[in-house]
């Protein structure tokens, strides 16, 4: 299976870079993993709703350009479905079983995802109603993908 995580912004914090590298290493024997970063749009701290929409649109265009046409897209969104780790494992297993072996998870920037990205997504996933920094979300998502792979293989989770 090919798992892609496409996200807005470059990781800066060392602890996040190290954590992501650790889970990427753990996933290596099981999946082909692609981590894609697109530039976030430069914008002032305070913006009008119209300016925020433009930022989302530009970042969305960059994200969509990285996703292959045959990818099954799962957008991370506050209004997405709530899945347990077992639900995620089941979703990935089902996608692989039915020939959808390229799964792209998409994480927006601080202003969220563009409507075009949400339209391209076949599913929307939420990790809860709390807002998490989009950079931290990459690490949380990778950990959950690793956990899902271990669940599907019937292997113990390495803590």
Residue 80 to residue 78: CA distance in whole angstroms: 6
138 is in an annotated binding site: no
Residue 46: pLDDT over 90: no
131 is in an annotated binding site: yes
Burial of 55 (0-12, 13-18, 19+ CB in 10 A): buried
Domain boundaries defined on the chain: 2-153
How far, in Å, are 45, 70, 134, 149 from residue 109 at the CA level? 13, 24, 6, 27
Predicted confidence (pLDDT) per residue in 100-114, tens digit: 889 999 999 988 999
Say which CATH topology domain 2-153 has. Answer: Alpha/beta knot (3.40.1280)
Residue 159 pLDDT grade (very low, low, confident, very high; cuts 50, 70, 90): low
Q: Tokens 């039915």 sit at which residue?
A: 98
137 is in an annotated binding site: no
28-53 average pLDDT score: 91
Largest Cα span, the chain: 49
Q: What angle do CA 34, 136, 50 make, to 5 degrees?
A: 90
Name, in order, each residue with C-beta under 8 angstroms of 88's C-beta and a sequence gap of 6 or more.
125, 144, 145, 147, 148
9 is in an annotated binding site: no
């Amino acid at each position: 299976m090919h798992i892609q995580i496409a996200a807005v912004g470059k990781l800066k914090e060392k602890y996040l870079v190290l954590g992501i590298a650790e889970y990427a290493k753990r996933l290596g024997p099981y999946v082909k993993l692609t981590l894609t970063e697109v530039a976030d749009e430069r914008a002032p701290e305070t913006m009008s709703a119209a300016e925020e929409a433009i930022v989302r649109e530009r970042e969305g265009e960059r994200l969509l350009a990285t996703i292959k046409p045959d990818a099954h897209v799962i957008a991370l969104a506050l209004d997405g479905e709530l899945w347990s780790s077992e639900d995620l494992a089941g979703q990935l297993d089902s996608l692989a079983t039915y020939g959808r072996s390229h799964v792209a998870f998409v994480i927006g920037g601080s202003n969220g995802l563009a409507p075009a990205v949400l339209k391209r997504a076949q599913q929307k996933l939420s990790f809860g109603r709390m807002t998490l920094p989009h950079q931290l979300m990459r690490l949380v998502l990778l950990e959950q993908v690793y956990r899902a792979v271990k669940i599907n293989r019937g292997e113990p989770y390495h803590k």
